[in-house]
Amino acid sequence: MTTVRNFVRSNVRNPNAVAYFLMAVSALFFPAVVQFATGGSGDYLVGLAADGGIYMLMAIGLNVVVGFAGLLDLGYAAFFAIGSYTYALVASNHLGVTPIGHSLHVPFWIALFIGMFVAATAGALLGAPTLRLRGDYLAIVTLGFGEIVPRVFRNAGIWTGGVPGISALDVPTLPGWVQGPWVGQDFGWVPDFRFTSANLTAYYMLMIILIAFVVILVHNLYNSRLGRAWMAVREDETAAAASGVNTVSVKLLAFSIGAATSGFAGAFYGAKLSYVSSENFGFIVSVTVLAMVVLGGMGNIPGAMLGAIVLYFILFWLLPNAPGQMQGLASSLGLDWLNQSNPNGWPGIGEVVSRSKYVIFGLILVGIMLLRPQGLLPSQIRKQELTHEEPEALAAPRQLQA
């Protein structure tokens, strides 16, 4: 009992510990609360939240690249696409219609890791030559890569199913799963469980388990020699190299680990949707995830998670609902003319609100960097780095002037 008390006491002032605790508790109770609040028809919301978990996974991964290693990756969605398509190829009938002629149905969990591995390899191949260059070149190379990959998938014809993409992918499975009153059934063990749209709560729980797993691994990395090396490289590459850190390979690891996480999320996403198409992987996905990381706090895992929750909520719940609500608000205020579109170009308030997605991204990225560069839930060290101005003399790009 005293150990518990000590544990609580030592963590209650640590914002990260509190954030983890609150996120875990609310994640666990979310389905029950939603079902209760909607009178049992909350499946849609639970599924929506589970899809948000995909973004959270990506934010955690991008945080390794941007937050830990200080590398700007603007083509993060490309690795997501690579993970999805890899999964689609090895876990559907599609290879059967390609010149290969034999379809593959690799078991779900293995296929998931194949997707992850292929994405990581793509990251390494892209990063190896690029990371030797100066930092902002990486941003551009990844941006270009992010534009290329979806187009290649769209143009590759029979191999990737062209514009319609690939459908009927194998859905996630587990050797067994527990059911219980939370899905309105008796306690029991379901063998050979398939995650489909009929059991979104199970999908949601699986998502939470995966996120918890990834968080633990990334947390371990952060507190290891590798995490320390990332920090050092971010602060002063020259000094890190002089201290024996192979800066290129350390950055490459960060970049590939980020790509791996994205590929993992992509493979899982493909499996859940049971469908992939090149339309889902544009720059908008990369910039969304970047905005999540920046909003939450670069370099802090629970920060990135919080950023993902907040922005996902805004983009996928608030924004879709906002036009209707704004219209309602306008008419209840007697401002019906706001709702009408008029020939001068005013498209009606609902339309304006639903068009404002990019304005939100822009305001988040610019506003956060200017006003609170450390984000909502900052990492202590990044907070110092990002808020202290360097004196003029030291601010020159840090190059080799030992």
Partner 1 sequence: MAAMVQRLRASVISTPTASLINLVGLAIVAVALVATAQRVYQGGATYFFQTLGFGLAQGAIFALVALGYTMVYGIIELINFAHGDVFTLGAFISLALMPVFGLNEGRISGAALILPLLGLFVVTMLICALVNVGIERVAYRPLRHAPRLAPLITAIGMSALLEGVMNVWRGPFNLHYPDFLPSTQIPIGGGVTIAAKAVMVIVVAVVLMVSLTLFVNRSKLGKAMRATAQDRDAAQLMGIDINRTISATFFIGAALAGAAGIIYGLYYNSVQAFDGFQYGLYAFTAAVFGGIGNIPGAALGGILIGVIYSISDGYFTVSWTQVLVFAILIFVLVFRPTGLLGMRVPEK
Partner 2 sequence: MSAILRVGGVTKRFGGLVAVDNVTFEVEEGEVFALIGPNGAGKTTLFNCVTGFYKPTLGTVTFRDRNLTGSPPHRTAKAGIARTFQNIRLFEYMSALDNVRLGHHCRMHSKLWDSLFKTPFERSEEKRITEHSMELLKLVGLERQSENYARNLAYGQQRRLEIARALATDPKLLLLDEPAAGFNPQEKVELMALVQTILKRGITVFLIEHDMKVVMQASQRIVVLDHGEKIAEGPPVEVRNNPRVIEAYLGKSA
Closest Cα to residue 83, out of 52, 47, 121? 121
* Shortest Cβ 256–partner 2 spacing (Å): 10
Give alpha helix (H) positions in 131-199: 135-155
Told to check if 228 binds partner 2 by CB under 8 A, we report yes
Sign of CA dihedral 232, 235, 241, 242: negative
The answer to whether 210 and 229 are in contact (CB under 8 A) is no
Contact partner at residue 272 from partner 1, partner 2, none, CB < 5 to 8 Å by partner kind: none
The answer to whether residue 349 forms part of the interface with partner 2 (CB under 8 A) is: no
CA distance 194 to 170: 9
Q: For partner 2, which is the closer residue by CB, 245 or 349?
A: 245
Asked whether position 396 contacts partner 2 by CB under 8 A, the answer is: no
The C-alpha atoms of residue 34 and residue 81 are separated, in whole angstroms, by 31
- Using CB distances below 5 to 8 A depending on partner kind, what does residue 309 bind out of partner 1, partner 2, none? none
Q: Shortest approach of partner 2 to residue 295 CB, angstroms?
A: 21
Which parts of 235-294 interact with partner 2 (CB under 8 A)? Answer: 235-236, 238-247, 253
Instruction: Give me the least distance between CB of 8 and partner 2, in Å please.
Output: 23
Which residues here bind partner 1, judged by CB under 8 A? 66, 70, 72, 74, 129-130, 132-137, 139-141, 143-145, 147-148, 151-152, 154-155, 234, 237, 283, 287, 290, 294, 298, 345, 347, 351-352, 355-367, 369-370, 373, 385-386, 389-392, 395-397, 399-400
- Which one among 226, 259, 308, 377 touches partner 2, defined by CB under 8 A? 226
- Which residue, 4 or 395, has its beta carbon nearer to partner 1? 395
Q: Which of partner 1, partner 2, none sits in contact with 226, Cβ below 5 to 8 A by type?
A: partner 2
CA distances from 361 to 64, 288, 292, 350 (A): 21, 7, 9, 19
- The reply on whether position 385 binds partner 2 by CB under 8 A is yes
The smaller minimum CB distance to partner 1, of residues 198 and 393, is found at 393
Q: How far is the CB of 20 from partner 2 (least distance, A)?
A: 17
Least distance (Å) between residue 157 CB and partner 2: 37
Please, which residues have CB within 8 angstroms of residue 351's CB and are 6 or more apart in sequence?
Answer: 323, 341
| Number of residues lying near partner 2 (CB under 8 A) | 30
**3-class SS shares of the chain: helix, strand, coil, % to 5:** 70, 5, 25
Q: How far is CA 267 from CA 85, 234, 320, in A?
A: 7, 30, 26
- Residue 140 beta carbon to partner 1: minimum distance, rounded to whole angstroms: 6
Query: How far are the Cα atoms of 178, 203, 256 from residue 250, in angstroms, in the given order?
Result: 41, 35, 10
Q: Are 235 and 53 within 8 A, CB to CB? A: no
Residue 268 CB-density burial (10 A; 0-12 exposed, 13-18 middle, 19+ buried): buried
Binding stretches for partner 2 (CB under 8 A): 217, 220-221, 224-229, 231-232, 235-236, 238-247, 253, 381, 384-385, 388, 400, 402
